[in-house]
Amino acid sequence: MVLTRRRFLKSSAVAATGLALAACVPAEPSVDMPAGTGGDAAMTEITYLIRSDIGVKIQEWTDEAIADFATVEPNITIETIGVPWGDYNAKLLAQYAAGDPPEISANYAAGFPTFYANDAIVALDELVSENNVDLSVIEQAALDAVTRNGKLWALPLAHLPTIVYYNLDALEEAGATIPPIDWADTSWTTDAMLESANAAAQDMDDPTKAQYGMIFGNGQLGVFEWLWGADPFNDVGGPEHTEAYKTGIVTESFYDSETMNNFIGWVYDAIYGSSPVSPRPSDTDAIQQLVGWPMMSGRIGMAINGAWSVTNFAAVEPSWRWGVGAFPYGPAGVNTSPLFNDSWMLGKGAKEQDAGFRFLQYLAVEKGAELYAKITGFFPAHKENYPIYFDSLMNIPNFALSREEAETALLDAFNYGYVTPGKTLDSYPEWNRTFNQTMGPIWNAEVSVADGLAQVQAQFESVIESKS
């Protein structure tokens, strides 16, 4: 075909007009620009950077809390920026580098130790006393988790233990033991749990049909080995002996210890042993990434996970009955529950420190916290909001426990808990990456547990050395 010049010019002219038009239409009326409006001079704008990948409920909560805050503090406007975790730090660091960090950073404390270590956040003690904030309403363990060098560096909104979830219909049908709610029940051991899982497991040779007994977490660095008296960073036993959890700095690792071998060997046997009860990690990983928590498929008898997972039941509304129970006692005679907290931080160098703290205060101890307990389904750190949380928990369909039972199962966990390394180690993402990468060969049954752990240990030693 022959393209005539006129035809070409005509199309360019149309294009150019489009360009001019599009360039002239403002994307958004600039109502929220503080400079241009010339309105109330006392208006303060703060930036609120929040992870957007926690679930739709968080967005609902954010919207409601900000709308309500506007009635409490009409002179403070909030610019909310939602960013998924994968790019959260990229955004945050760009803002820091440009000298304009957000006042409030909410990343569910996934970055707390790193931010603390990199001097990115401010201590809140002075602001707390200036504003007469009563912190006694917040669970002390949650406050302890964000206290360093005697100072408070963040305000917790949620405080979450790790618990056992179970599919009551599946366990009952198999005649398997139901996990108890009583955390002091020493008859509920890892062996008892394995036995119960064995009873519940069916068709294990066909992954497309199998009914699995349990998923005993395998993707987290240094938490479940506590039950075996192991810890990656000390050779004595549980987490209380690890200096690194207090200083944040890892100086030694013990992945090749006997107790660690026992623990990993136990989980490995549950997957690949003569009578397997757990799905292969490559399957659970795939499901986890694709559809979410594997438990929700209805084909898992029991699963260990953080208390945030109740939100899955609220979202999916499964047709089977389910419940929650206590952690089993391990060979070391303890049932230490890894504790998580979701804490909000005030950015160092952010322009509006006072307004920022005012909002933080609203979220942690005022109406914001109440809405958090009501809407998000995360266990609140604010103790007075416990009833609100349990109200909403009891509304989730097919929850098999009474309110009292649920309170026992969840609240008692804190007496048996210890903060997870993810909330204490400085370079946690780096350790976690090292752990996940090097454990691959074991979880995929490509090496023996002993050989695999020797490799894990070697890699940890090499990272430790590179940091010194």
Partner 1 sequence: MGRRSRERLYKAIALLLLLPGILWVLMPTVWMFSAAFSRLEQIMRWPPDLWPDPWVFSNFYEGFAFLPFGRYFMNSTQIAVIRVMGQVLAASMAGYAFARMQAPGKNLLFILVLSTLMLPYTVTMIPQYIIFQRLGWIDTYLPLIIPHFDGGAFFIFLFRQFFRSIPDELTEAARLDGCSYFGIYWRMMLPLSLPVIAASSILIFQNSWQELLQPLIFLHDNGKYTIPLGLARFRSSYGSSPWHLIMAVSIGAALPPVVLFFIGQRFLLSGIVVSDK
Partner 2 sequence: MSGMAAVGAGGAERPRLSLRWREAINFYLFLAPWILGFLAFTAIPIVASLFLGFTKYNAISPPDFVGLKNFRFLYNDQVFWKSLRVTLTYTVVFVPLQLVSSLLLAMLLNLRVPSMRTIRTIYYLPSILPTVVTGLVWIWLFNADFGLINFFLYKAFEIRGPNWLGSERWVMSAVIISGLWALGGGVIIFLAALQNVPGEFYEAAELDGANILHRFWHVTVPMISPVILYNLMIAMILSLQVFTRIYVLTQGGPNYASYFYNLYVYDNAFSYLKLGLASAQAWILFVLILLLTVLALRTSGRWVHYSGGV
Q: List residues binding partner 1 (CB under 8 A).
A: 1-5, 8, 15-16, 18-19, 22-23, 25, 27-28, 32, 47, 52-57, 59, 79-85, 87, 90-91, 93-95, 97-98, 100, 207-208, 283, 287, 290-294, 296-299, 308-309, 311-312, 315-319
Q: Which is nearer to partner 1, 83 or 178 (CB)?
A: 83
Q: Residue 429's binding partner, choosing from partner 2, partner 1, none, with beta-carbon cut-off 5 to 8 A by kind?
A: partner 2
265 binds, among partner 2, partner 1, none (CB under 5 to 8 A by kind): none
315 binds, among partner 1, partner 2, none (CB under 5 to 8 A by kind): partner 1
Work out how close the CB of 310 gets to partner 1 at its nearest, in angstroms, rounded to a whole number.
10
396 to 455, contacts with partner 2 by CB under 8 A?
Answer: 427, 429-430, 433, 436-438, 440-441, 443-444, 446, 455
Q: Which residues are registered as beta bridge partners of 160?
A: 340
Pairing of strands 417-419, 300-306: unpaired
Which residues between 194 and 223 bind partner 2 (CB under 8 A)? 207-208
**DSSP state for residue 202 in the 8-state scheme:** B
Stated as kind and residue range, the H or E segment containing 105 is strand 104-106
Task: Report the C-alpha gap between 400 and 394 in whole angstroms.
Answer: 9
Decide: residue 202, CB within 10 A, 0-12 exposed, 13-18 middle, 19+ buried: middle
Between residue 123 and residue 182, which ones bind partner 2 under the rule CB under 8 A?
none
Q: Among partner 1, partner 2, none, what binds residue 189 when CB lies within 5 to 8 Å by partner kind?
A: none
| Nearest approach, Cβ of residue 351 and partner 2 (Å) | 16
Q: Quick one: 137 or 315, whose CB is closer to partner 1?
A: 315
For 339, residues 6+ apart whose C-beta sits below 8 A from its C-beta are 141, 145, 159, 160, 161, 162, 413, 414, 417, 418, 419, 420, 423
Cβ-contact 346, 124 below 8 angstroms = yes
Report d(CA 136, CA 144) in Å as an integer. 12
Residues in 59-118 at the binding interface with partner 2, rule: CB under 8 A: 86-87, 89-90, 93-94, 96-97, 114, 118
The residue with tokens 């008859």 is 187
427 interacts with, out of partner 1, partner 2, none, CB within 5 to 8 A per kind: partner 2
> How far, in Å, are 19, 31, 33, 76 from residue 38 at the CA level?
31, 10, 10, 15
Of the pair 86, 175, the CB lying nearest partner 2 is at 86
In whole angstroms, what is the distance from residue 257 CA to residue 174 CA? 36
Burial status of residue 18 (CB atoms within 10 A of its CB: 0-12, 13-18, 19 or more)? exposed
| Interface with partner 2, residue 56, by CB under 8 A | no
Beta carbons within 8 Å of 28's beta carbon, 6+ residues apart: none
From the CB of 308, what's the least distance to partner 1, in Å?
5
Residues that bind partner 2 (CB under 8 A): 86-87, 89-90, 93-94, 96-97, 114, 118-120, 207-208, 280-283, 286, 289-290, 348, 427, 429-430, 433, 436-438, 440-441, 443-444, 446, 455, 459, 462, 466
